[in-house]
Amino acid sequence: MDKLLASGVEYTVYALEAGLLVYLLSCGLWKRQLGVVFYLISLLAADWAVRPYFFHHYGLNSLAYANCYWLTDVVLALEAFGLMCIFLRRACTPQLWSVLRLSLIFVFILVAAYSYLSLLSHKANLAHDFIYQFEQNLFFTCLVLNTLLFVMLQRIEHAEQELGLLVCGMGIQFAGPAANLALVQVTSGWPAAYSLLGYVMPFCTLGMLLVWLYAFTAAKNDTGQGGSSGRLRVPVLVEAHGVSEV
């Protein structure tokens, strides 16, 4: 029953990723949602092509699949950060954005530097530990930015309903993995906390996609015209002495 539920959520996420992308392209909404379209294409590439290839050719417990999984996860986290910047640009005035843009660049550099400096004592496996630490810090940063943007939208008169719903969807995507990664940190790498990621991430991605679908369909109905991950199973986590199943 557990495997059936997990598979059902996984394939529902895949279907929503493809369906939402087709909907945006066919209705012409992609013209002003290029960031969302690019993010959906990346999700599809990771879930339908890159990860399945490494999973079937190397296996769940292989180092190759672990590297593939976490690297694609970092790429998706980077794109999510970029998407947050796009949403912030839409919500800000040109004058405010000129200041905020520099702050976002500084925040990104700070996150990368902090992730690296916090791992200098793990030189034996620095690359893999940096990937995980950087993703964790980036998720928390995106969650903070998303919260600030949501509060900002509440204070803007006549704020875009579509943008507000997109931000809510991203909040779902960030909140679950961020909380789960915090649990991993608090429990000092408790294996059960790692395995929980395999359930939290697809459910959060499913929630995000459903909110986005409602946002775009509601926007289309209003105007009368078009215009962090479903995932495969979480692989082994690479450690200095080898691998351990997540």
Q: How confident is the model at residue 226 (pLDDT cuts 50, 70, 90)?
A: very low
Reading phi first (left if > 0) and then psi (alpha if -120 to 50, else beta), residue 88 is in alpha
Q: Rounded to whole angstroms, how far apart are CA atoms 246 and 230? A: 17
* pLDDT for the residue 239: 46
Question: Tokens 């200095």 belong to which residue?
Answer: 240
Q: Rounded to whole angstroms, how far apart are CA atoms 166 and 169? A: 5
Beta carbons of 194 and 246 less than 8 angstroms apart: yes
Q: Looking at the predicted structure, is the pLDDT value of residue 244 above 60? A: no
pLDDT, tens digit, for every residue of 181-218? Answer: 778 778 776 777 777 777 888 889 999 999 999 998 88
* pLDDT for the residue 127: 61
Q: Rounded to whole angstroms, how far apart are CA atoms 103 and 244? A: 38
Q: For the whole model, what pTM was predicted?
A: 0.81
DSSP assignment of 54-81? HHHHH-TT-HHHHHHHHHHHHHHHHHHH
Please, which residues bridge with residue 238 across strands? 243
pLDDT, tens digit, for every residue of 51-88? Answer: 999 999 998 888 888 888 888 988 998 999 999 999 99
pLDDT, tens digit, for every residue of 85-142? Answer: 999 998 888 888 988 999 999 999 999 888 878 766 655 565 667 777 788 888 889 9
Beta carbons of 227 and 189 less than 8 angstroms apart: no
Q: Could you tell me how many residues make up the chain?
A: 246
